[in-house]
Chains A and B, each alone.
Chain A
Amino acid sequence: MQNDLKIPIGKLLRADASSFVAGCRVHELEAPALGALVKVKLRDGAETYGLISNITIQDDGLVRQIASRGTLSPEYEADNRYNRNLPVEIFVLTVGYRQAGKLFQRLPPRPPFSLDALWLCDEHELCDFTENPTYLRHILRVQDQLLEELLVSHLAQAKAAHEVMDPQRTNAEGEWYGKACKALIAYLRDDYELMARVLNALGELETK
């Protein structure tokens, strides 16, 4: 992971108490990934944190016509990708906030406002926020997509960040990742079917 990813990746379009959606250009889309930790800086100094739960790229009639063609000069593809104003939407699941320098892993008092900037958090901030894995319970309320895939994407990034930031501690005991898995098992103790799906998906991280 790089340290220079503390960059604005889009601006807020709409929000509610537990999620928000940001619009961005394709150029800006090169940085964020599914499961990445992002934040919105509010005007009162507070910061709302969330995980990217989905990214959608809209089309229009022109794109459909171009897509139906065979091989094209790269200029045409680049023009559509980078110049045209096609909305790319980043869906974010709210997982906590920071106020007066203190981190909270519950939903913020109010959602961010439209046109607030969305920032990608660097690995320092990712480790800082995820240190306590209780925020994982927010992911478990995701219903409209494959929850376990979001978990795998996020945990892969967080695990890598913890390994880079604190290698001795992590390598010796796998401390952070083990703690996160235990927290998930505790949250899912009454839902064996989902727990089995989640653990099965997380198996991919164990083999890497």
Chain B
Amino acid sequence: MGSGKEPSFEIQSNLLDYDQLVTEDGFLIGEQQVSLLRDLSERQALAEFSRGKDKPILTMTDGLLDIYQRLESPEEQQKLQQEVLSLHREMEAQEVITVGYIDKPGSELIGRLFDILGKSDEELARYNDKQRSIRGVSDARLFKNLLRQPGERSAIFEAFNKSRDKQAPRLIVHFFFLNIGVEGAPYLARVEFPALVSARPELVDLLHAVVYADTQVLAGHPYPYLLLRAHELAIINFAEYTDVEAMLMQKFEEEGLTMGQISHKQYGKDQVGRRSHAK
């Protein structure tokens, strides 16, 4: 920002190989695994892009800053978390501000905080989150009456995972709530960033200003323009999907491989609701 020129963009595509697509048991990997690979690739791309560039740099991720998806293997899980942490540390060392943007935070982190505040260590030891006294009140709802002015933010909080100390070191995430709505109609988003940023108030101010400004580009529906454009560029539309499928089918044919045929069940489904246009 500030150059007055159009931004440049770069798209990295990665077609997964058979070994990455199929589990040891011979099943296709699930949506969660694909999301993990994508999220990790995103952090790697951000770290790579930031190397040797002029500062300040602020990156924005759609959703949580850390990666919380669980892998079946604890070893692989730990390896993944270590890699994410190491990428974040590298970016922190270069003073890159990494931001996670949660558009409609339904979490109840503050409610939990209130609930455990007055509890003794003994009570905490047998604390059961399912029996929490403040339930069903989201953080956004709690802050809606406090952050009335457009652009106003809350204090900074730390996201604390109760199993954090038992695990290997992982990214420590701080966050604030930000009113991106208009006068009389507050709309709260949660903005996450690494704990290290909180120690530098000028960096907090910078990310506060940049994130808020970026959400104000679109009239009526405030949301980071950056994320909207990233989504527009990243989405695989139907034409691209059919192009890749056609390329694969052509390759199959060239190699003399059979492509199989559509099942009778699918054929029947495709015919339902289809009308003849013949007069």
A78 to B225, CA, bound (A): 13
| B213 (CB) vs chain A CBs: closest residue | A73
List chain B residues, Cβ under 8 A from A78.
4-7
Binding site secondary structure of chain B: loop
| B8 (CB) vs chain A CBs: closest residue | A83
Listed stretches B35-43, B157-165, B180-188, B214-222; interface member: B214-222
Binding site secondary structure of chain A: helix
Q: Contact string, A58-84, partner B, CB cutoff 8 A, digits 1/0?
A: 000010011011001111101101111
**Are the C-beta atoms of A79 and B1 separated by less than 8 Å?**
no
Query: What is the total number of residues of chain B having a CB less than 8 Å from a CB of chain A?
Result: 19
**Are the C-beta atoms of A65 and B220 separated by less than 8 Å?**
yes
**Are the C-beta atoms of A66 and B9 separated by less than 8 Å?**
no
List chain A residues, Cβ under 8 A from B228.
62
Q: Contact string, B236-270, partner A, CB cutoff 8 A, digits 1/0?
A: 00000000000000000000000000000000000
Q: Contact string, B156-193, partner A, CB cutoff 8 A, digits 1/0?
A: 00000000000000000000000000000000000000
Given contacts A62-B228, A73-B1, A75-B1, contact A81 B219 (CB under 8 A): no
A73 to B1, CA, bound (A): 8
| A65 (CB) vs chain B CBs: closest residue | B218
Q: Is residue B53 within 8 Å, beta carbon to beta carbon, of the partner chain?
A: no
A residues touching B (Cβ–Cβ < 8 Å)?
62, 65-66, 68-69, 72-76, 78-79, 81-84
B residues touching A (Cβ–Cβ < 8 Å)?
1-7, 9, 213, 216-221, 225, 228-229, 232
A-B contact pairs, 11 of them (CB 8 A): A62-B232, A69-B216, A73-B1, A73-B2, A75-B1, A75-B4, A75-B5, A78-B7, A79-B229, A83-B7, A84-B229
